[in-house]
Structure 1
Amino acid sequence: MSLEKLDLASPDLVNENIEKIAALFPNCVTESSKGKAIDFDLLKQELSDSVVEGNKERYRLEWPGKREAIVTANLPTTKTLRPVREDSVDFDNTENLYIEGDNLEVLKLLQESYLNKIKMIYIDPPYNTGKDFIYKDNFSKDEEKELLESGQTDEYKNRLITNPDTAGRYHSDWLSMMYSRLKLARNLLTQDGAVFVSIDENENHNLRKICDEIFGERNFVAELIWQKKTGSSDAKNIATITEYVIIYSKEITSLAFNQDEDAHDNARYKYKDEYYEERGPFYYDNLDRGTLGYHESLDYGIPTPNGGLAFPNGRTKKLNDGWRWKWGKKKLEWGLNNGFIEVQESSSKDCGWGVYYKIYLNVDNEGNPKKRSSPYKNIIQGILNTHASNEAKDLFNRTGIFSNPKPTNLIYNLLKIGSNENDILLDFFSGSASSAQAVLKANSEDNFRRKYIQVQIPEPTDDKSDAFKEGYNSICEIGKERIRRAAKKIKEETKADIDYGFRVYRLDESNMQDVYYKPQEYDQGQLDAFADNVKPDRTSDDLLAQVMIDWGLPLSLKIERIDIKGKEVFKVAENSLYACFDKGIDEEFAKEIANDSPLRIVFKDSGFKNDTAKTNVKQLLKQLSPETEMKVI
């Protein structure tokens, strides 16, 4: 019996688009040596109310390599992401991701797992100043050797080249790089999502044009101008001291930015207080907390309606278990007298009474009116690049570690208008990871659970740079260390109970032997050598990541390891996916695992005890757990 195999490749967007066209215009689909193809002459005629006789001039941006950029974006990849636990922080529980590798390939791999799931994209790409490195995406097999020998690729096969303004395709190469990546990125945005792109005057005009084409001119939101410095002494004519943030929505009719600094919180203010209407609506927060540091003076009894006393963490007596009240006795008395405190019976039998304080929309917890800014008033005012240098000094005790980073407050302010609870921020030109720090800062203030995905090519640091001298050999090493240090600093300063961890993944060639993808190129004698089609240096962690990507599961899902009949089984998001890559899979194992009724289960094709066991396992799962979808790699 043959079992369905996971294809372990990113979606074939060309074939998907052909099928969509075929559904609308079946007469425009023909056959070629490579399968289905589109008769473009017929398709042009179908989309015109007059006879199409040839090429006509039209309003659009063209450049050498544009068609290749579209093809590049549509080509599937068989690469994978391999987990790097030793560089991660709280790998099994965190929902944040740091991905090392060429962002074009990574964006392809994220197409199924994060389709329509990213609320906000922020990128700070190369500005094309004539000194930047850009990605060279022409990577046909015939050129691989030439690129490597000329130094245009590194050990990871990343395609980085300088793009001097004297080059014949100076603008064209930059446009091709951006076009393919933005085209893929758009697929990941939620319907109400938006992309924010930092840029300067060199390519601002061209960026607007390609975004008009990719996102649609009607989905343009704004072009923000911010002052990056106070002056410039090296300007030849007029000093340029500003940069831009270009904003496009996925669908403008669905876009709803937060209107002021408190708007993202407004949904939480769902209670009304008839005695204090002038304070506005409010929400409750626990008066006790176990992560602020224990103080005996803040561990006291608060009278309850039944004549008893409530202590932190639902206790009935004083106990140094780390929990304490946020307020002292004097402020508590003020809160009780002024309607800021409520003592309520807990819905849990084990917790007794709970003490809550009210957070009003219009007044603070001192009873003073809140100062509320007008919409977008302070979004980018008073933010300078020198602030980014100061951030480096705060974290690394010296400047010069980061190269041209964006100030965290710039991205933080964009986050405040463009994201809410549980939203995901994607940054696929991560650089020094300013956007990751901005997410941590925002979460620590409003206690939201925004998540980030950082993507950065492991570009080597200059051997003359301060970063290299400090032991950071690549931009990725700087970015990861920055997140660790920023997380530690924010946790110490705020005591906020948020997700400070991140999972590291590294782009690499597929976990599978080449024969998995092109068996027609091998004869039977060669095939025998591939009895196990997994490369010998790959681990179960590697295989699980590739399976999650192929099955369209977010890489941030909780992962557990359990033992079933002496075999290691990965549980992803409870019973969303079970994966076992051990050998000796048989009927007894199938019966045991069927008790959990996983939605999906995957094995290695070579992992079954024998061919009979392979057939019987499939039949048993079909009988005992009919909802389970089984595949093999």
Structure 2
Amino acid sequence: MPTLNWIGKDKVINHHMDVPYRILEHSYGFDNGKQTQNETNSGNKIIHGDNLEALKALLPKYEGAIDVIYIDPPYNTGNEGWIYNDNVNDPKIKKWLGKVVGKEAEDLSRHDKWLCMMYPRLNLLHKLLSRQGVIFISIDDNEQANLKLICDEIFGGSNFVTDLIWRSADSSNNDAKQFSVDFNHTLVYTKLSGWQPFKLERSEDNNAHYKNPDNDPRGPWFSGNVSSPNPRVNLTYDIISPSGNKIAPPKNGWRWNKERVEEMIQDKEIIFSDDETRIIKKTFLKDQSGIVPSNIWWDIEETGHNRNAKYELIKIFSELKTSDVFKTPKPTKFLEKIIKISMHSDALILDSFAGSGTTAHAILNLNKLDNGNRKFILVEMEDYANDITAERIKRVINGYGDAKKKIKGLEGSFDFYELGKPLFLDNEMLNEEVSLEKIREYVWFSETRKPYEKVNEKEEHLLGVANSSAFYFYYYKDKLTTLDDSFLRTLKTKEEQYVIYADNCVLDHSLMQKYHITFKKIPRDITRF
């Protein structure tokens, strides 16, 4: 499989492993149309902070749990004149590149920088995606080819589904120097091959070619394909018509064996043409459950367009001037269609380049329409995460517009988080400003790759049990702990093995072997992931 190389790749290919783990600090909840200091526990989250570190912070609870990911990352056009800067010469990116890539960063091209920025983020997104999950990544021609190659590396070339073409412009640009750019790409990948999109509802246009010229009691039908899609020597037999006319097989042979064809003739699923020179297979409208989605979305009435999305934002934020609004926001119709074909109505959906919050808006719309229970996690690194991203969702939940054109609220709740303190200090010691529960959550996940749930209150230091092993975290912020005989006598959980974290251990080696005890020193033996 072809791979892509660029300056700095060797520095970022495993950089997601070195990203500091930070906790998520709850800022406020939004529930029943009001802001509260309490967590809503709705499952909906908006996170403000660097999306690389935010994705790392999500791992303990959400690794392998996200059903659908949609991202609309910077297109790397070099345009710096609008609210979401998509030029990777942004000072934040330059600072990060200098730290991670080092002196080589001075020689990076615009494309090298973009690839360095995207690669570790895609690695973490791959970890978060569920085994049955699917990711959609919108992009334009500036980086589409490069994105395809790095996604083939990270997700696997065999897990590429399609390049979805979406008509993003409602009219051609006659001022374009060469060609008017009327569409965007959206690359689609799965975690494992086998994902299938849901079929779309059939329209009257889809059904127009179904007729019933012979008044078949099974209803309207359409003449289906009778030829095998691949050459099949064993299916190249003649069919004899009622008058004895011999009908030769098509080039690849028939689609079915002779016995099955005779059954379908008997059931009148296959009929002969009037001149008996060919057979007609009836495909009945009643058997058609929906339409397989096309990978060309050209109907702007169905999926919206960029200008439509701008108007949508202006309606929500009446106080904003047109020039203040995002240059190429995505319309909610586009996101609704992606979400609708992707997964069941209880799906968990992540957007780590949240921008104006269209993904959450689309999810709330769909939940209202079909009584679904989809959940969203949005990550936005820019300063407008609260004032625009979260504010949009508040207004969508409560309703917006003036008295004459009031848009009814969609209902819903969410929690807003800031990216907080690192779990480990620069000297590799545990950060004592981090709560004990957050430390326990991290240690449990590092051992089991499972979300942490508080267990037996009677055992203060028990993290939980997994794979016939009991895990203990014997730790206090204000004093050293020692794994000794007296601590062993406090254990109440009986398991085949014990993994015990403490500052020191004075147990005899033979005793530890006898009771299958593994000692792990704090913080040295806490795995960094």
Match of 1:249 among 178, 187, 190: 190
Alpha-carbon distance change, 513 to 259 in structure 1, aligned in 2, over 3 angstroms: same
Q: Provide the rounded CA distance (Å) in 2 between the counterparts of 1:416 and 1:83.
A: 30
Alpha-carbon distance change, 222 to 514 in structure 1, aligned in 2, over 3 angstroms: closer
Q: Provide the rounded CA distance (Å) in 2 between the counterparts of 1:77 and 1:447.
A: 39
Structure 1 gap ranges (5+)? 1-57, 147-160, 263-277, 279-368, 461-473, 520-532, 558-571, 580-588
Match of 1:390 among 301, 308, 311: 311
| Paired residue type of 1:103 | N
Match of 1:70 among 13, 32, 35: 13
Alpha-carbon distance change, 593 to 223 in structure 1, aligned in 2, over 3 angstroms: closer
Q: Provide the rounded CA distance (Å) in 2 between the counterparts of 1:204 and 1:438.
A: 25
Instruction: State the secondary structure of the residue aligned to 2:398.
Output: helix
| Paired residue type of 1:504 | F
Q: Provide the rounded CA distance (Å) in 1 between the counterparts of 2:62 and 2:180.
A: 42
Aligned residue for 1:403?
326
Match of 1:109 among 47, 51, 57: 57
Q: CA RMSD, aligned part only?
A: 4.3
| Paired residue type of 1:391 | E
Alpha-carbon distance change, 627 to 393 in structure 1, aligned in 2, over 3 angstroms: farther
Instruction: State the secondary structure of the residue aligned to 2:162.
Output: strand
Structure 2 gap ranges (5+)? 80-85, 203-217, 219-285, 401-405, 503-521, 523-529
Aligned residue for 2:3?
60
Q: Provide the rounded CA distance (Å) in 1 between the counterparts of 2:16 and 2:61.
A: 17
Q: Provide the rounded CA distance (Å) in 2 between the counterparts of 1:619 and 1:628.
A: 13
Q: Deviations over 1:436-491 (max 9, x none)?
A: 1111111111112111111111x24xxxxxxxxxxxxx34431011111112229x
| Paired residue type of 1:95 | G
Match of 1:456 among 372, 380, 384: 380
Cα contact 1:114–1:552 (8 A) shared by 2: no
Aligned residue for 1:560?
none
Q: Deviations over 1:15-67 (max 9, x none)?
A: xxxxxxxxxxxxxxxxxxxxxxxxxxxxxxxxxxxxxxxxxxx8422111111
Alpha-carbon distance change, 617 to 82 in structure 1, aligned in 2, over 3 angstroms: farther
Aligned residue for 2:422?
510
Cα distance, 1:414 vs structure 2? 0.1
Match of 1:172 among 112, 115, 119: 112
Match of 2:299 among 381, 388, 391: 381
| Paired residue type of 1:453 | I
Alpha-carbon distance change, 94 to 379 in structure 1, aligned in 2, over 3 angstroms: farther
Cα contact 1:109–1:549 (8 A) shared by 2: no
Cα contact 1:456–1:476 (8 A) shared by 2: no
Query: Which sits farther off after the overlay, 108-117 or 418-427?
Result: 108-117
Q: Provide the rounded CA distance (Å) in 2 between the counterparts of 1:438 and 1:545.
A: 32
- The answer to whether 1:235 aligns with 2:176 is yes
Aligned residue for 1:481?
391
| Paired residue type of 2:351 | D
Aligned residue for 2:278?
none
Match of 1:208 among 148, 162, 165: 148
Q: Provide the rounded CA distance (Å) in 1 between the counterparts of 2:455 and 2:121.
A: 33
Aligned residue for 1:437?
361
Cα contact 2:396–2:409 (8 A) shared by 1: no
Aligned residue for 1:501?
413
| Paired residue type of 1:194 | V
Q: Provide the rounded CA distance (Å) in 1 between the counterparts of 2:127 and 2:321.
A: 38
Alpha-carbon distance change, 102 to 615 in structure 1, aligned in 2, over 3 angstroms: farther
Match of 2:476 among 588, 605, 615: 605
Aligned residue for 2:24?
81
Q: Provide the rounded CA distance (Å) in 1 between the counterparts of 2:141 and 2:162.
A: 16
Q: Deviations over 1:389-420 (max 9, x none)?
A: 12212222245353132111111100000021
Cα contact 1:117–1:190 (8 A) shared by 2: yes
Cα distance, 1:74 vs structure 2? 2.7
Q: Provide the rounded CA distance (Å) in 1 between the counterparts of 2:475 and 2:29.
A: 25
Cα distance, 1:624 vs structure 2? 9.7
Cα contact 1:388–1:406 (8 A) shared by 2: yes
Q: State the identity %.
A: 30
Instruction: State the secondary structure of the residue aligned to 1:244.
Output: strand
Report 1:335-346 matches (<5 A): none
Cα distance, 1:619 vs structure 2? 4.1
Alpha-carbon distance change, 138 to 216 in structure 1, aligned in 2, over 3 angstroms: same
Q: Provide the rounded CA distance (Å) in 1 between the counterparts of 2:16 and 2:482.
A: 43
Alpha-carbon distance change, 226 to 611 in structure 1, aligned in 2, over 3 angstroms: closer
Cα distance, 1:91 vs structure 2? 1.9
Aligned residue for 1:317?
none
Aligned residue for 1:266?
none
| Paired residue type of 1:501 | S
Cα distance, 1:129 vs structure 2? 0.3
Alpha-carbon distance change, 488 to 66 in structure 1, aligned in 2, over 3 angstroms: same
Instruction: State the secondary structure of the residue aligned to 2:62.
Output: coil
- The answer to whether 1:577 aligns with 2:447 is no
Q: Deviations over 1:103-125 (max 9, x none)?
A: 11222233342222111110000
Cα contact 2:21–2:423 (8 A) shared by 1: no
Q: Deviations over 1:285-326 (max 9, x none)?
A: xxxxxxxxxxxxxxxxxxxxxxxxxxxxxxxxxxxxxxxxxx
Match of 2:198 among 253, 258, 263: 258
Alpha-carbon distance change, 545 to 481 in structure 1, aligned in 2, over 3 angstroms: farther
Q: Provide the rounded CA distance (Å) in 2 between the counterparts of 1:100 and 1:421.
A: 26
